[in-house]
Structure 1
Amino acid sequence: MYTNVAAVTCMQYPGSFGHFRTDAKTFADWGVDYLKVDGCFVGEDVLNKAYIKLGSQLNDTGRPMVYSCSWPYYIQYIHSKVPDFEAISQHCNMWRNYHDVQLYWPALKMIFKHFEDEYEELSRHHGPGKWNDPDMLIFGTDTLTESQSRVQIAVYVMLSAPLLLSCDMTKITAYEKKLLQNLDLMAVGQDPLGVMARPHKLQESVTLWVKRHLPMKGNKFHSYSFAIVNVDSQPHLIYFFPKIYGTDSKDGYTVMDVFSRDFIKNVTFHEPIEVTVPPDDVIMYTFFPL
């Protein structure tokens, strides 16, 4: 379900301003599981109060609902102020902090860059029950090549981002379905630790995303996933040492190619990785401690 904290929605339909208690109860009575709340047509002062008030009313219904806010987006990009992510993460389950995704590849690249640039701030307020939202997967829209689809879902699972679809499900391609049903890929995205992957710029158009997650060996050595993302129109040869980014199990790791779901080799924790990443594509490995 969708609404707005103003009197009307962004498309001029009735909004929830002045009716938070009534609307929250109505949504609960309807069995709503997920509520997206926009922030058009109101000032900064209203945004900073309304999202807290509506969230409180939703909690008072006693029905668990995912509360998806657009609060930080409007503060930062419409009112040119700094969002209070401490408050936002206390009152919302997830929140949009960048522009709407569009049905073209450059828009996705801008979203990736935003999360790279804002990592230090965004990651501090991200975790179980409180998620940064880069907007929906654009599967089922005949927009992306197979490699670009790999990139979008790889970055999103590395970010521990919500995975949402809004499309005619009959138009999901066989390859997109394969990605969505890749349980090893989903396990990285839905890892209970909820860590937001850290980006490392290896070349101008190549970013290494690194995520620590479960399972662990004992209580000491985590698994790690590495997504090497190339958003250039040319292939790039990449060489890096996983040890620099956290791997430390002296018994080594077994390495799985997440997209093929094949275990490709065992490595010591200090061995280098060398890969050629094709244009607009990603290589993604998970290291499981031995």
Structure 2
Amino acid sequence: EDLIVRQAKHLAADGWLAKGYEYIIIDDCWPSKYRDPSTKKLIPDPKRFPHGLKWLSDFVHSLGLKFGIYLDFGSKTCAGYPGSMDFLKVDADTMAEWSVDFIKMDGCNSDLKIQADGYAEFGRYLNATKRPIVYGCSYPLFQRWTKGEYLNWTQLAENCNLWRLLDDIQDSWVSLQTIMRKYEIHRETVIPVAGPGHWNDLDMLLGGNFGLSLDETRVQFGMWAMHATPLILSVDLANIPANVKEVLLADFVIRVSQDKMGSPADMLESIEGIQVWKRRLVDFNGGWALAFLHLSDSTGYPKMIVLTLREVGIPEGVDQGEDKQDRSFKLLDAFSGTDLITVTPTESFEVRVNPSGIVMLIVQPTQTS
């Protein structure tokens, strides 16, 4: 309880809430080992949470934040605490009574064959409470869809606000690369499913811990924004390094992440070994975000590429006519907010990318009369 209170205070007061980080979420291990014998409700561990979770939820709300909690669809949680199997309605009602705003529903110790319908059932119970609760579903990562097994993506998007796609991320560059590579391989499956109200969840941000360099922290933060995956911190906010905090509060990157179009980035053809991703935006005058990734292990030095906007399909569609090619576009550095250069679609510009690094640009059409 003390830990959550401390972190909530930092989240509210240290600039995080002002940039949109509004949920504080408790993960596994919060309940007692047994349910209430008469009501069957989950009981917060009295040593860990002496005031109970309704008190904690009210405290979090008093700071202008929202409160999230962890449940598991199975007989037990992943760490062995009581699961929600056979108690879906009881737990949905309890979460509403505690004024919960976000639920992560894990999938350990459950029958894979009933997960999809069972998660949908729990979603109906949540809706019946009339409380707006963001519903995060973990069952896709248990379903082995990456190995070709069937997953009903339409049902998933209809019932869940976000869903974990892949294995738990670990605090290492190798783990981050593995997650990004799997997403890249399966992008044609998962990109069309995501959109406003239903998002692919690639797991938490690692920045501020031990496994990533500052450049690698930028890679994850930038690509999570490009992929329109939720930005969920997992770090001690009291001790986060200032340079990491600056990355995770980068205004333009957050604006890309939260863009109302809600369309995840598409991967374009690589340029001299540099991955290129493009995301269309409503923000920035209906512009684009471009991400250039240097992930090659064969070189330990930065790479410089030269390109034009036309080479990456900007402008698009009806805007590609010859009469549109004299339009100009500002290129902005998404991490620093710096206005770099203004170019037409056919004018060349340079991008220099560090090894294990990213350059993320905002392409903003200039105002025309």
Q: Same fold (TM over 0.5)?
A: yes
Task: Name the CA distance, whole Å, in 1 between partners of 2:229 and 2:272.
Answer: 24
Give me the identity figure in percent: 31
Q: 2:139 matched to 1:71?
A: yes
Partner of 2:255 in structure 1?
187
C-alpha contact 2:100 2:133 (8 A) present in aligned 1: yes
Partner of 1:110 in structure 2?
178
Partner of 1:280 in structure 2?
356
Partner of 2:334 in structure 1?
258
C-alpha contact 2:261 2:282 (8 A) present in aligned 1: yes
C-alpha contact 2:272 2:305 (8 A) present in aligned 1: no
Shift of 1:206: 2.8
Which of 243, 259, 262 aligns to 1:175? It is 243
Partner of 1:228 in structure 2?
292
Task: Name the CA distance, whole Å, in 2 between partners of 1:187 and 1:261.
Answer: 11
Shift of 1:171: 2.5
Shift of 1:211: 0.5
Greater alpha carbon shift after TM alignment, 256-265 vs 186-195: 256-265
**Structure 2 portions without partners, runs of 5+:** 1-68
What is the DSSP-based 3-state SS (H/G/I as helix, E as strand, rest coil) of the residue aligned with 2:283? Answer: strand
Task: Name the CA distance, whole Å, in 1 between partners of 2:250 and 2:349.
Answer: 24
Q: Deviations over 1:146-181 (max 9, x none)?
A: 101110100000111100012221231101211222
Partner of 1:49 in structure 2?
117
- Partner amino acid, structure 1, of 2:201: D
What is the DSSP-based 3-state SS (H/G/I as helix, E as strand, rest coil) of the residue aligned with 1:237? Answer: strand
Task: Name the CA distance, whole Å, in 2 between partners of 1:147 and 1:18.
Answer: 46
Larger of the two Rg values belongs to structure: 2
Please give the TM-score of this superposition, normalised by the length of structure 1. Answer: 0.93
Shift of 1:114: 1.5
Q: Deviations over 1:166-208 (max 9, x none)?
A: 2221231101211222211111110000110012351686311
C-alpha contact 2:251 2:337 (8 A) present in aligned 1: no
Partner of 1:157 in structure 2?
225
- Partner amino acid, structure 2, of 1:188: V
Alignment of 1:4-83 (within 5 A): 4-76=72-144, 81-83=149-151
Normalized per residue, the structure richer in strand is 1
C-alpha contact 1:44 1:79 (8 A) present in aligned 2: no
Q: 2:323 matched to 1:241?
A: no
- Partner amino acid, structure 2, of 1:153: F
Shift of 1:127: 0.5
Please give the TM-score of this superposition, normalised by the length of structure 2. Answer: 0.74
C-alpha contact 1:72 1:85 (8 A) present in aligned 2: no
**Structure 1 portions without partners, runs of 5+:** none
In structure 2, do the counterparts of structure 1 residues 97 and 204 end up closer, same or farther at CA, with 3 Å as the change threshold? farther
Q: 2:186 matched to 1:125?
A: no
Alignment of 1:191-202 (within 5 A): 191-202=259-270
C-alpha contact 2:256 2:289 (8 A) present in aligned 1: yes
CA RMSD of aligned residues (A): 1.8
- Partner amino acid, structure 2, of 1:267: V
What is the DSSP-based 3-state SS (H/G/I as helix, E as strand, rest coil) of the residue aligned with 1:140? Answer: coil
C-alpha contact 1:71 1:88 (8 A) present in aligned 2: no
